[in-house]
Amino acid sequence: MTDRSPRERRSGGTGLCAPPVRHGLVLTAAVLVCCAVVLALCWASWSGVRDQLTGLTARAVGTVTETEVGGVADTVRVRWQPAGGAERVLDVRLGGSVPPVGSRTEVAYDPADPTRATVPGSAAIVDGNRALTDAFCVAVVAIAVLVLGGVRWWFAAAAVRRRPRRIAARRVRIQSGLLSRSWLETEHEPQRWVPVHFDPLLVTLPAPTTVTFLGDPLRDSWVGAEIDGRRIYPAGRVRTSEPRGRRVDNPMRPDADTARRARRATLGRHLLLDAALVAPAPLVGLFWAYLDGGGLSSWAGATAIAAVVGLWTGAYRGSDPS
C-alpha cells in the first residue's frame, strides 16, 4: 500500500473525484433535472387550467339535453339557468364518462360573466387534477432519490472510516438480470461477499490477494476496502451467501488485456453500459399512462423519469461496466 500524506488519509485520496462518487453525482443530477422539467410542464398545465376555473364561484343545477354534440363523443350540452338570469345552454367536453340525456348536474359559473361555466368531470377539471397528481408523484421521486442516495452514501462514508483488517479475498463480477456488480469474496470460511462500488483498480486485482478491508466482514454489515491507497466504497450490506447470477472471476495474474479493460472503464463507458437499465422505461411509461389516462404526454414524462431513475439505480447499487 502506498504512503499518503495525512491530508490524503483524511480525504481517502479521492474525494469527489472517486469514480463511484462522480457516477452517483452525475446521475442524481440527471434525475433532478428531468424531474424539474416534468414538474415545470405539470405546473404550466395546471396554470392554464387554473386560469380557466378562476372566478367560477357561483353554483346552479342544469340538465343534460344532448350528448355527442357536433359529433364529438365526449361533449355534452347542458341547459341551465344562473341565479336571476335567463336560461342558458352550455356545451362542455368531459374528461371521463358521459352521463345519459336527462341527467342533472351541477354547474359552476362566474357570477359576473355567466358565459364562463363548467360542470364536474369536465376535461379542464380532469386535466388540472391530473397535472397536480403528476407533479406530486414527480416530487416524490425526486425526494426519494435524494433521501435514498444520501442514506446510502452516509453508510458508505461511515464504513470506510472503520479500523482496517487485512484478509485474503478475490474480486468477482456477478451479472444478475440487467445489473452487473463487483463483489469482494473472502477466501476462508466463513465466507463473506462484500458488494462494492466499481473502481478500475478492481479489474487489475489479482485473484486471490490480500485486501485491506475497512471494517470486519465477519461482524460489520457495511464494509469498505482500501487498495493501493484508494478507498473502495461499499455498495450494500455484506452477504453471508453467494449472490445469484453469472459469475466472472478476476485472473490470477493481471495481463495487458486486463489493464486495457481497466483503462476503458471510464465514466462515459459506465453510463453507456448502464443504458441497458433504461430498457423497461417505455413499459413503465405505458403503465403510468394507462393509470393516469393522460395519453402521449403522460407516457413521455413517465418514460423519461423511469429512464433516468433506471440509470440512477445502477449507480445506487454499484453497477460494474467492466
Residue 313 pLDDT grade (very low, low, confident, very high; cuts 50, 70, 90): very high
Q: Find the Cα–Cα–Cα–Cα dihedral 173, 159, 20, 194, rounded to 10°.
A: 10
> 119, 113, 64, 114: which is closest to 88 by C-alpha?
114
- Do 111 and 59 meet the contact criterion of CB atoms below 8 Å apart? no
**Tens of pLDDT, residues 238-260:** 999 999 989 988 878 776 677 67
Q: Which amino acid is at 49?
A: V
**The pLDDT value given to residue 184:** 93
**Tens of pLDDT, residues 155-182:** 988 888 889 999 999 999 999 888 889 9
Chain mean pLDDT for the chain: 87
Q: Cα–Cα distance between 259 and 275 in angstroms, integer?
A: 24
pTM of the model: 0.82
Residue appearing with cell numbers 462522480: 22
Counting residues of the chain whose pLDDT is more than 70, the rounded percentage is 93
Higher per-residue pLDDT: 215 or 322: 215
Determine the average pLDDT of the residues in 211-240. Answer: 90
pLDDT above 90: residue 274:
no
**The pLDDT value given to residue 7:** 38
**The pLDDT value given to residue 6:** 41
**Tens of pLDDT, residues 106-141:** 999 999 999 999 999 888 899 899 999 999 999 999
pLDDT above 60: residue 85:
yes
> 224, 222, 217: which is closest to 240 by C-alpha?
217
Give the strand pairing for 88-93 and 209-214: unpaired
Q: Per DSSP, what are the bridge partners of residue 166? A: 212
> 290, 298, 280: which is closest to 134 by C-alpha?
298
**The pLDDT value given to residue 135:** 93
DSSP 237-274: --BSSPPSSEEEEPPSS--HHHHHHHHH--HHHHHHHG
**Tens of pLDDT, residues 47-65:** 988 888 899 999 999 999 9
Judged by average pLDDT, the poorest of 33-42, 201-210, 217-226, 249-258 is 249-258
pLDDT above 50: residue 291:
yes
Q: Cα–Cα distance between 236 and 196 in angstroms, integer?
A: 7
pLDDT above 60: residue 2:
no
Q: Cα–Cα distance between 203 and 218 in angstroms, integer?
A: 24
